[in-house]
Amino acid sequence: MKTLMRQWTLILALMMIGLSVSAAPYRFEEGTHYVALSVPYETADPDRIEVTEYFSYRCQHCFRFDPVVEQWKSSLPQDVLFNRTPAMWARQDEVLTQTYYALQSIGQLEAVHPAIFEAIHLQGRQFPDPVEMAEYLAELGIDTEAFSKAYKSFGVRSNAQQARARANMYRARAVPAIMVNGKYRISGDLAGSNEAMLEVADFLIERERRARAKTSN
């Protein structure tokens, strides 16, 4: 009798696992775990699924979240394009945002990105102007002449203004936030935590992938 009960218990457990797996694509709901934008925006590459982290270097939550995002980003498949948009809410944000795009333009962003977070949150640096930022970057071995030239360039200033415009499209009131393919916004409050945002992002990425597969068939 006990053997029969064990068998039934195992069967029920397997059935429950099967149900949870089959229900996985539907475990996150619009309005509860993420928001669908009323006006979707155009993404950088229509052939890939775009994921954007909206962040601020001055945000402690973004600082703690960054290593998690970096690890998650490294596992994304080729059909997903990951990028970031810096928030511009204050004068100090303008310096940090132009720094972000200047470093990107000279190919040094990935090397320096974590260090800027650490300088602000572990060393107490404020970076009120590009001169102080250039001095810090020199400590990291960055060519400050190349940085300063890029910082003042039309392209970098234009990218910074575009970041401000994109933020208006995101309609995000807090950072960090995750945008998926110009259609969805995920916040830590909705997802349950900042780390959980990535689970919701995975769900929405797969949703977009399936939608594309249906369209192509």
Please write the tens of the pLDDT for every residue from 126-179: 999 999 999 999 999 999 999 999 999 999 999 999 999 999 999 998 999 999
What pLDDT, on a 0 to 100 scale, did the predictor assign at position 216? 74
- Is the pLDDT at 29 greater than 90? The verdict is yes
Q: Which secondary structure element, helix H or strand E, spans residue 150, and what is its range?
A: helix 144-152
Q: Rounded to whole angstroms, what are the CA distances from 160 to 6, 7, 83, 153, 202?
A: 63, 63, 14, 11, 28
Q: At 209, is the pLDDT very low, low, confident or very high (cuts 50, 70, 90)?
A: very high
Q: For the chain, what is the mean pLDDT?
A: 90
CA–CA distance, 164 with 173 (Å, rounded to integer): 13
- Is the pLDDT at 4 greater than 70? The verdict is no
Cα dihedral 193→196→201→203 (10° resolution): -130
- Is the pLDDT at 3 greater than 90? The verdict is no
| Amino acid making up residue 54 | Y
- Is the pLDDT at 26 greater than 80? The verdict is no
Q: What domains can you pick out in the chain, each with its CATH number? A: 32-216 (3.40.30.10)
Mean pLDDT of 65-84: 97
Give the whole-number percent of the chain exceeding pLDDT 90: 82
Mean pLDDT of 61-72: 98
Q: How much is the pTM?
A: 0.85
